[in-house]
Amino acid sequence: MLDIKFLRENPDLVKENIKKKFQEEKLPLVDQVIELDRRNRDAMTEANTLRAARNTLSKQVGMLMGQAKKDSSKLAEAEEAKAKVKANADRLAELEKLEDELAVEIRKIMLV
């Protein structure tokens, strides 16, 4: 099986090698893997961004909840931050599922 990094950096070389082996029916798989890899990397990037935002918001929630004990006006702000954390968690779960699905599909194609 080829390394995905090699395939990403040298798609023309991979295609040329496939042609030399007279397996032209596999040529579209190279572009398909590159596209799936791009989508997977985009999902990873977004997931990492959401994790960082979640960590920051979680710290804010803790701080706001502590302040809400002294000043009840901070409670609404804390609840709003909690809602953002929940929305991020939901999107993060979707992205993790997508990453897993794409990784399986890429591996399946790469084994061909």
Alpha helices in the chain (DSSP H): 4-9, 11-20, 27-70, 74-111
At 26, list the tokens: 């596999």
pLDDT digits (tens, 9 = 90+) for 2-60: 888 888 888 898 899 888 888 888 888 999 999 999 999 999 999 999 999 888 888 88
One-letter identity of residue 24: E
What per-residue confidence (pLDDT) applies to 102?
Answer: 93
The model carries a pTM of 0.74
Helix axis angle for 11-20 and 27-70, nearest 10°, is 150
58 near 85, Cβ under 8 Å?
Answer: yes
